């Protein structure tokens, strides 16, 4: 796995997985995803769950593999959410080419004004910002109400890439309960690790 120093992502420590914790849930998900002879839809759902859990564990290579398999599990269908899940993992690994390839597939076929198109445009803007340091496209998304759910992540990325404290202040004042704001305040339950993408929470 490729890592880049000085850049972080967050894993939120929440009681989501019962007594066994994330490791136990990962083992269950891996076993389910590896089962043979199950229906394609069940296989897809198992791979999606495994992708999310691997993502949360910080194993981005395994997560990307699960998301990619999930994207094409059902014959004649393509799961664009899974493609973008894999793109986020490729971005976290610094594999811009694969991240961009997945995102472009969705951009080409997504319906106008659809949620999927909004997600894909956000991912494309993130890729551009991390790959080139150019934040204009990402910053422009703040002007659109379509990207409300992504604003904490946008403010975080813009602050980290530009060092502009205006983005930090906006994040802390408007979204104080988000993982991004809590990290800036040093709140417990948000852990930092090394990655080329500062924020890789499944949203």
Q: What is the mean pLDDT of residues 62-77?
A: 95
User: What is the model's pLDDT at position 20?
Assistant: 64
Q: Is the pLDDT of residue 142 over 90?
A: yes
pTM, two decimals, is 0.81
107's enclosing H/E stretch is helix 96-109
Spell 105-134 as b/e; 16+ CB within 10 A means b: bbbeebeeeeebbbbbbbbbbbbbbbeeee
Say yes or no to pLDDT of 125 above 90: yes
Name the one residue in this structure whose structure tokens are 């973008």. Answer: 84
Q: What's the chain's average pLDDT?
A: 84
Strand partners, 194: 8
pLDDT of 176 over the 90 cut: yes
* pLDDT (mean) for 98-106: 97
**pLDDT of 203 higher than 70:** no
Question: Is 190 in a helix, a strand, or coil?
Answer: strand
Confidence of residue 195 (pLDDT cuts 50, 70, 90): very low
Q: How confident is the model at residue 31 (pLDDT cuts 50, 70, 90)?
A: very high
Cβ proximity of 35 and 46 under 8 Å: yes
pLDDT above 70 for 194: no
Higher pLDDT, 46 or 18: 46
| pLDDT exceeds 80 at position 193 | no
Fold adopted by 8-194: 1.25.40
CA–CA separation, 53 and 58 (whole Å): 9
Q: Is the pLDDT of residue 113 over 60?
A: yes
Q: Please report, for residues 11, 156, 159, the alpha-carbon distance to residue 8 in angstroms, rounded to integers and kept in the order given.
A: 10, 11, 13
pLDDT tens string 1-22: 332 322 334 433 333 455 468 8
**Mean of the pLDDT values across residues 107-119?**
94
């Amino acid at each position: 796995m490729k890592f880049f120093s000085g850049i972080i992502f967050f894993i939120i420590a929440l009681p989501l997985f019962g007594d066994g914790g994330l490791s136990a849930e990962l083992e269950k998900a891996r076993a389910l995803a590896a089962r043979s002879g199950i229906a394609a839809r069940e296989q897809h759902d198992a791979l999606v769950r495994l992708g999310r859990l691997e993502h949360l564990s910080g194993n981005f290579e395994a997560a990307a593999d699960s998301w990619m398999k999930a994207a094409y599990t059902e014959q004649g269908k393509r799961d664009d959410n899974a493609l973008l899940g894999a793109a986020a993992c490729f971005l976290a690994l610094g594999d811009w080419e694969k991240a961009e390839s997945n995102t472009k597939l969705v951009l080409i076929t997504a319906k106008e004004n659809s949620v999927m198109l909004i997600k894909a445009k956000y991912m494309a803007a993130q890729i551009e910002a991390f790959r080139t340091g150019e934040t204009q496209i990402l910053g422009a998304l703040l002007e659109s109400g379509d990207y409300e759910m992504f604003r904490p992540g946008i403010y975080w990325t813009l602050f980290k890439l530009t060092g502009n404290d205006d983005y930090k202040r906006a994040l802390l004042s408007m979204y104080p309960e988000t993982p991004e704001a809590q990290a800036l305040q040093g709140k417990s339950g948000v852990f930092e690790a090394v990655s080329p993408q500062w924020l890789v929470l499944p949203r």
